[in-house]
A = this chain, B = another copy of it.
């Protein structure tokens, strides 16, 4: 019984949701990281990693391992954990890859040792684990990865998170081009200040997106996915971004934005057939710039990190 394996899935997340820089985050279905875990005598061991990219098995350098260890320490248990990590999310994709691993690791440790911590209580350790690797303390991926749906980070220190809700009619096209964007660099190029007019505009859009998820209202979301603060300075990090955005809008998307710090780009629609066409057109537009990509048509993951199988 003690050595039974469990399997935990944690979804991909879209940081910012366009204008809501460092405030909003959204969990999406289909892509994510999986952690298999069982009790072990002591310490945290990562016995296997399945990943398209090279990744250290050192549990102190992997967010799943770090988060699991933080939970064990928090619970004060003497036992340890063995983890097997399957990375469904490419690293540095703007889909919250390290956050998903952290969320899954924290969830597994709490579950196996009957810690009784709520998902809300797992956000802080998961965010700390992510910080160790990313260098920044931000919950806009860990919070939605754990809670599901759209989340709002009012403050990181102290951590103040609210789950806003979901939009059932929403179809999301995710396109991850084969481009490397370093989050650290994507933050460094941000302006130190924002013109008053742009401040008001992004704030209004972010508030409307919040209302949209709180009321499960697609049409509100459809008219508010506009970011005039961060996208203009980050767009050039993604080769072909302007044309990919234009292709999505031409194909009928109601909005297009960068996921987190990129390079993943996402588009929205409430029509599944349109979604497939938008996906095609976006992938083609990247190809025209000599960029290969991986894509999916998906929807909101309202559940967040969970046991599977």
Binding site for B on A (CB under 8 A): 20-24, 152-155, 160, 162, 164, 190-196, 199-211, 214-215, 220, 223-224, 229
Contacts and interface: CB of A to CB of B under 8 A. Distances in A.
A152 B203 CA distance: 10
Total copies of the chain? 2
Contact of A210 (B192, B214, B229): B214
A196 B196 contact: no
Where chain A touches its partner, the secondary structure class is mixed
A229 B162 contact: no
A203 B21 contact: yes
12 contacts: A23-B200, A23-B203, A23-B207, A153-B204, A154-B208, A162-B211, A162-B220, A192-B195, A193-B194, A202-B203, A207-B209, A210-B211
A180 to B, nearest CB: 24
Given A153-B204, A214-B214, A214-B215, A193 B195 contact: yes
A191 B196 contact: yes
B208 A152 contact: yes
Contacts of A20: 203, 207
Contact of A164 (B191, B194, B202, B211): B211
B207 A196 contact: no
Given A23-B203, A207-B207, 17 more contacts: A20-B207, A21-B199, A21-B203, A22-B204, A23-B200, A154-B208, A154-B223, A162-B220, A164-B211, A193-B196, A199-B202, A199-B203, A203-B203, A203-B206, A210-B210, A211-B214, A214-B214
Nearest to A208: B154
Nearest to A214: B214
Contacts of A194: 193-196, 199
Contacts of A155: 201, 204
A210 B165 CA distance: 13
